[in-house]
């Protein structure tokens, strides 16, 4: 350590520790930006605006894509839906055969559209309330056309098809026709065994596609008007994903295409019976989200991840930056000393000088670094290395704050002399 020995120096304060003075160079404040150049705040605002613009464009694209896709995705067994679980394929095949398909969502619309030249398809009979079941039953008795009930259970059979009971679940996926009904014999095996089986003692009933001794398809004559009612235990033959399997397409076209008009009844929530639970299992949140929006959310998530990777901090080795201004360490030390003097911080200056001297002396006399600031460990070790007149090492290294600048300069000189004597002993 070197004390301020130059009498012409403009300051009388001691230098900070050598650990600070040994820095080869420090940086000065960066020069002010050129006139007209954007400052950091302006650049940050521009970056935020660009990011928000990109997010807005992405969101608009997602919304437009979902809106365009939503037109052909209306739900399960919907003839307008091209999803695997929709029924658009069978509706298109019926259209090619001259059958007009009309979609209705209320029991009253379905009953009003029924007639001798009409096939009424009820996709979810168990969802209907008592009032709606009565309306459909009246249409079955009076229309003179065909009514197809998809997978009705005992909940709805009592009113829609009296005299028919369920016989449990089918255990054969693709049963053989097992009857003389021309529609079934020409279609061959079909996927009617994925749902319920039925049993009845009504006269004139035709039982087809048996599974375990009970039919999965029943054709019942209806009243004096010449119509009939078809009970189908599974809706699989109408789904897009399975229409081409076995004889599904043939059976579906013959059951629904026997009349020139087809009324496709998709019961709405308004037709539901509040006192009974739906026949199917509860759907999860993801199943309730339309397919178009699911893909849109997935695309948005992928875009967000890519944007995060694009804007994230890059990891890599440190890059040395060219300093605009280089300042000598001695100049930085003098500047620090002037700041101490201006603030009248003799206590801080004395503490820094003593602490740095103690650490250097501890290394010279073999005292562990952890005990460098312990008077009981450092002072005896330093005193043992001194020669000549005895000195109060404890007061010098751990004493009180100097009373004025002259005393601070004297402290720096004494510390410097003590360190020099220990180094040369």
As beta bridge partners, residue 102 has 263
**pLDDT of res. 95:** 95
Looking up tokens 């996709």 gives: 123
Please report, in tens digits, the pLDDT of each residue of the chain (425 residues total). Answer: 444 434 333 333 444 444 344 444 444 444 444 444 556 677 778 778 877 887 777 777 767 665 555 544 457 899 998 889 999 999 999 999 999 999 999 999 999 999 999 999 999 999 998 999 999 999 998 888 999 999 999 989 999 999 999 999 888 889 999 999 999 999 999 999 889 999 999 998 999 999 989 999 999 998 677 789 999 999 999 999 999 999 999 999 999 999 999 999 999 877 776 554 444 445 566 666 665 676 777 888 888 888 888 777 666 677 777 777 777 888 888 888 888 888 888 898 889 899 999 999 999 999 998 898 998 999 899 888 888 777 788 888 998 888 888 888 899 899 998 999 888 87
Task: Kindly tell me the burial class for residue 3, based on how many C-beta atoms sit within 10 Å of its own C-beta (0-12, 13-18, 19 or more).
Answer: middle
Give the Cα separation of 56 and 242 in Å (integer): 40
Decide: 11 and 334 in contact? Cβ < 8 Å: yes
Decide: 108 and 269 in contact? Cβ < 8 Å: no
**pLDDT of res. 67:** 57
Q: Which two tokens stand for residue 335?
A: 């500047």
Give the Cα separation of 217 and 149 in Å (integer): 10
Looking up tokens 């004025």 gives: 404
Q: Which two tokens stand for residue 57?
A: 């464009």
As beta bridge partners, residue 229 has 147, 220
The candidate with the shortest Cα–Cα distance to 105, out of 83, 77, 84, 82, is: 77
Task: Kindly tell me the burial class for residue 69, based on how many C-beta atoms sit within 10 Å of its own C-beta (0-12, 13-18, 19 or more).
Answer: middle
**pLDDT of res. 9:** 37
As beta bridge partners, residue 264 has 103, 121
User: 194: which DSSP letter?
Assistant: T
The CA-CA-CA angle for residues 30, 34, 37, to 5°, reads: 110
**pLDDT of res. 147:** 94
Give the Cα separation of 102 and 111 in Å (integer): 13
Give the Cα separation of 257 and 254 in Å (integer): 5
Question: Rounded to a whole number, what is the distance in angstroms from the first to the last CA of the chain?
Answer: 16
Give the Cα separation of 2 and 357 in Å (integer): 11
Looking up tokens 């199917």 gives: 280
Give the Cα separation of 374 and 416 in Å (integer): 20
Cα distances (Å, whole numbers) of residue 381 to 20, 87, 362: 26, 96, 8
What is the bridge-based pairing of β-strands 206-211 and 214-222?
antiparallel
Helix (H, G, I), strand (E, B) or coil at 34: coil
Q: How many beta carbons lie within 10 A of that of residue 369, not counting itself? A: 9
Rounded to the nearest 5°, which phi and psi values hold at 95?
A: -65, -40
């Amino acid at each position: 350590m070197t004390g301020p020995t130059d009498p012409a120096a403009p300051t009388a304060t001691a230098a900070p520790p050598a650990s600070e003075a040994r820095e080869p160079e420090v940086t000065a404040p960066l020069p002010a930006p050129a006139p007209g150049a954007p400052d950091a705040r302006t650049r940050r605002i521009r970056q935020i605006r660009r990011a928000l613009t990109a997010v807005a464009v992405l969101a608009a694209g997602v919304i437009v894509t979902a809106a365009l896709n939503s037109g052909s995705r209306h739900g399960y067994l919907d003839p307008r839906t091209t999803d695997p679980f929709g029924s658009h394929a069978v509706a298109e095949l019926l259209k090619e055969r001259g059958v007009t398909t009309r979609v209705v969502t209320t029991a009253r619309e379905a009953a009003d559209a029924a007639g001798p030249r009409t096939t009424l398809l009820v996709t979810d009979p168990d969802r209907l309330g008592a009032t709606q079941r009565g309306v459909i039953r009246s249409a079955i008795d009076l229309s003179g056309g065909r009514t197809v009930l998809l997978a009705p259970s005992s909940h709805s059979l009592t009113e829609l098809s009296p005299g028919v009971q369920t016989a449990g679940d089918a255990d054969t996926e693709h049963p053989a026709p097992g009857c003389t009904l021309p529609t079934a014999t020409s279609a061959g095996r079909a996927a009617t065994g994925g749902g319920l089986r039925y049993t009845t003692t009504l006269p004139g009933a035709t039982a087809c596609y048996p599974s375990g001794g009970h039919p999965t398809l029943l054709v019942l004559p209806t009243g004096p008007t010449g119509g009939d009612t078809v009970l189908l235990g599974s809706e699989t033959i109408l789904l897009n994903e399975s229409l081409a399997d076995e004889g599904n397409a043939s059976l579906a076209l013959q059951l629904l295409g026997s009349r020139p008009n087809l009324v496709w009844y998709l019961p709405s929530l308004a037709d539901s019976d509040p006192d009974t639970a739906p026949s199917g299992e509860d759907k999860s949140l993801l199943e309730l989200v339309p397919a178009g929006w699911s893909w849109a959310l997935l695309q948005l998530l992928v875009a967000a991840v890519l944007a995060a990777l694009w804007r994230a901090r890059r990891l890599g080795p440190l890059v040395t930056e060219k300093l605009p201004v280089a300042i000598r360490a001695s100049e930085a030390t003098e500047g620090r000393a002037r700041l101490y003097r201006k603030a009248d911080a003799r206590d801080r200056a004395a503490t820094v000088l003593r602490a740095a001297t103690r650490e250097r002396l501890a290394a010279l006399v073999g005292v562990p670094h952890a005990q460098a600031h312990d008077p009981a460990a450092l002072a005896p070790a330093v005193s043992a290395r001194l020669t000549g007149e005895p000195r109060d090492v404890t007061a010098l290294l751990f004493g009180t704050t100097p009373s004025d600048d002259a005393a601070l300069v004297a402290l720096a000189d004494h510390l410097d002399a003590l360190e020099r004597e220990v180094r040369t002993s």
